[in-house]
Amino acid sequence: MRNEEMVMTTRNAPVMDALVDFVLGLELAAVPLPVVEAAGRSMTDWLGTAIRGSIEPLADAAARVITATGGEPQATIVGRGQRTSALLASLANGAQGHALDFDDTHLPAVLHGAAAVAPVVFALAEWRHAGGAEALAAFIAGFEVATGIGRVLGKRLTERGWHVTATVGTFGAAAAAGRMLGLDARQLAHALGLAGTQAAGLTQSFGTMAKPLHPGKAAMNGLLAAMLAREGFTGSTTMLDAPDGLAGTFVGVTDLHRAAEHVGKRWELLENSTKFYAACHLVHATIDAGRAIGARTPLAAEAIESVRCRVAPLTLKAADQREPRTPLAAKFSVRFCAAMALLRGDAGEADFTEASLADPAVARVMARVSPEGDDQLGIAAAHMAVRLANGRVIEERITAARGTPGNPGTRDDL
């Protein structure tokens, strides 16, 4: 244990006790090497997406607001050199890291695990002059807390219209911040309660700048929760599993024992997925299928009569934009992504543009794509059947999208 006095249980609720004990008791030296390596990859992946996101319009808008409101120069906005408070840096960096929807995803939790946790870790490491080992341990703790809760609630939250990265990510941010700020067990329990009462974010925002705002706010709110708790601010220590807590209110369940049972025993970082396409992760299997078909049989738009895409029902909940009008909205369109994969063989950052949306060939194929929900398919799977004008049908089945644990890709791919 890192500090026996700090790891005393709160005796408030079994789930909260387990999470608090895990966060404060985690020893980096005892974490399996593959988990540590996965954490390093995830942090590096997030940093890369945040740097690229720093030149997006949303980053410019956030920077102007931060300039106008000020803030102690505690932490740097990635890629811009602007310094501000740790809270505002977490907000800006969280939004930048998710701006392209290119950051890694924990699919069992339907959650971008690094999105809300990494901004807090980077901000506090700079502000508090923390060492690399301390920052890495805090990241692992926050990631595991968020994804552990997300594994239990993620699909149900998404079905109800809640964005998991926004609502559950704030717990991971608070956990990481609490560890780095030296909270004791009682304070950390209150921090997690304060994080939960700030949880928000709706899937209706997908395809707009509000979606990347979600992890920024989750990061900022989680850090704020930990800072307040350190000063004696209290919150509900039964926030996770009380009838009127987050799970009970949002999805009508209160049994989160699985999150408590597995934390620190099943390492969620080992089930993290890397994105190879700049789109909603739930459409990546569809993109893989389209690319495979296009690689075998190069196709012109005029040759395609129909495209039947079978996907997990949750994919249609998150990414069924029928006629996307902006590049951001196109990232959440099975139809657009299928068309790009078939015609261009990719769905990278450069493919989500106004020019692509205006391309008559893309529009023609999009109009012929029919997405269907299939309960037999997981969220990393898809089946595509392309009927050509000559009557020929070409099919492709993807059981594990590229970048997932079942099909991780090579180091060169990464």
Q: What is the pLDDT of residue 4?
A: 37
Tokens of 62: 């956030």
Q: Is the pLDDT of residue 1 over 50?
A: no
Residues 6 or more apart whose Cβ sits within 8 Å of residue 11: 17
Tokens of 37: 């390596």
Determine how many CB atoms are found less than 10 A away from the CB of residue 360: 8
Task: Give the pLDDT band (50/70/90) at residue 62.
Answer: very high
Task: Summarize pLDDT for 174-211 with one digit per residue, the tens.
Answer: 999 999 999 999 999 999 999 999 999 999 999 999 99
Task: Summarize pLDDT for 361-409 with one digit per residue, the tens.
Answer: 999 999 999 999 999 999 999 999 999 999 999 999 999 999 999 999 7
CA distances for 56 relative to 50, 86, 233, 332, angstroms: 10, 21, 36, 18
Q: Is the pLDDT of residue 170 over 90?
A: yes
Average pLDDT of the residues in 16-22:
95
CB 372 within 8 A of CB 379: no
Partners of 176 in the β-ladder: none
Nearest to 170 by CA among 246, 96, 221, 224: 221
Q: Is 124 helix (H, G, I), strand (E, B) or coil?
A: helix
Q: What is the pLDDT of residue 6?
A: 40
C-alpha 69/C-alpha 84 separation (Å) is: 10
Q: What is the 3-state secondary structure (H, E, C) of 355-410?
A: HHHHCHHHHHHHCCEEEEECCCCCCCCEEEEEEECCCCEEEEEECCCCCECCECCC
Q: What is the pLDDT of residue 151?
A: 95
pTM for the predicted model, two decimal places: 0.93
Partners of 76 in the β-ladder: 83
Nearest to 210 by CA among 83, 310, 373, 101: 101
Tokens of 5: 């006095």
Domains of the chain: 14-271 (1.10.4100.10), 281-398 (3.30.1330.120)
Task: Summarize pLDDT for 66-119 with one digit per residue, the tens.
Answer: 999 988 999 999 999 999 999 999 999 999 999 999 999 999 999 999 999 999
Q: What is the pLDDT of residue 262?
A: 83
C-alpha 37/C-alpha 40 separation (Å) is: 5
Average pLDDT of the residues in 17-32:
96
Residue burial 169-202, b: 16+ Cβ < 10 Å; e: rest: bbbbbbbbbbbbbebbbbbbbbbbbbbbebbebe
Phi and psi for 122 in degrees, rounded to 5? -65, -40
Higher confidence at residue 7 or residue 246?
A: 246
CB 225 within 8 A of CB 174: yes
Q: What is the pLDDT of residue 256?
A: 83
C-alpha 146/C-alpha 150 separation (Å) is: 6
Q: What is the pLDDT of residue 3?
A: 42
CB 84 within 8 A of CB 71: yes
Q: What is the pLDDT of residue 413?
A: 72
Task: Summarize pLDDT for 323-361 with one digit per residue, the tens.
Answer: 999 999 999 999 999 999 999 999 999 999 999 999 999
Percent of the chain whose pLDDT exceeds 70: 96
Task: Give the pLDDT band (50/70/90) at residue 139.
Answer: very high
Tracing tokens 């990265």 back to the chain, one arrives at 165
Task: Give the pLDDT band (50/70/90) at residue 14.
Answer: confident
CB 382 within 8 A of CB 285: yes
Q: Is the pLDDT of residue 23 over 80?
A: yes
Average pLDDT of the residues in 198-226:
98
The mean of the pLDDT values for the chain is: 94
